[in-house]
């Protein structure tokens, strides 16, 4: 039962990844693409946690930790660039 729920969650996360990727591909302005990039990073954190759960190895969570910190820095830098302040 729990395994079935994990499969369902992985499918939903995959669809969310595809939707954000569509916005990244299509997005008319730069800000749209930055938002899509942010969402892709956040979805990747959950995807990495799901991979760690499927493989049963806790060390994989360190990569998710790095992404939780890095998405912040990346978006801040791009926003400063768009604001013409960098």
Partner 1 sequence: MGMLMTAMTVLLCIAMIVAAFVAIAGKSLPIAILSAGLVSLVASVLFLVLASPDVAMTEAAIGSGLTTFLFFFVLGRVRKGEHDGGEHD
Partner 2 sequence: MDIVGGLLLVGGAAFLLFGGLGLVRMPDVFNRIQAGTKATTLGTLLGLAGIACLQPDWALKLFLIGLFILFTNPISSQVLARAAHRSGARKSALTAVDRLEEDHGA
Total Cβ atoms within 10 A of residue 48: 19
Give the whole-angstrom CA distance, residue 82 versus residue 80. Answer: 5
Tokens of 53: 């759960």
Give the whole-angstrom CA distance, residue 15 versus residue 84. Answer: 35
81 near partner 1, rule: CB under 8 A: yes
Q: Which residue ranges make up the site for partner 2 (CB under 8 A)?
A: 1-2, 4-6, 8-13, 15-20, 22-23, 29, 31-32, 34-36, 38-39, 42-43, 45-46, 49-50, 52-53, 58, 61-62, 64-65, 68-69, 71-72, 75-76, 78-80, 82-84
**44-73: which residues touch partner 1 (CB under 8 A)?**
44, 47-48, 51, 54-55, 57, 59-60, 62-63, 66-67, 70, 73
Q: CB under 8 Å to 28, separation ≥6 — which residues?
A: none
Q: Which is nearer to partner 1, 1 or 73 (CB)?
A: 73
């Amino acid at each position: 039962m729990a395994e079935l729920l994990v499969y369902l969650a992985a499918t939903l996360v995959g669809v969310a990844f595809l939707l954000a990727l569509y916005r990244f591909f299509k997005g008319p302005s730069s800000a749209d693409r930055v938002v899509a990039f942010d969402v892709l990073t956040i979805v990747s954190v959950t995807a990495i946690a799901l991979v760690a759960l499927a493989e049963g190895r806790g060390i994989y969570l360190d990569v998710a930790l790095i992404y939780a910190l890095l998405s912040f820095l990346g978006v801040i830098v791009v926003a400063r660039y768009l604001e013409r302040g960098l």
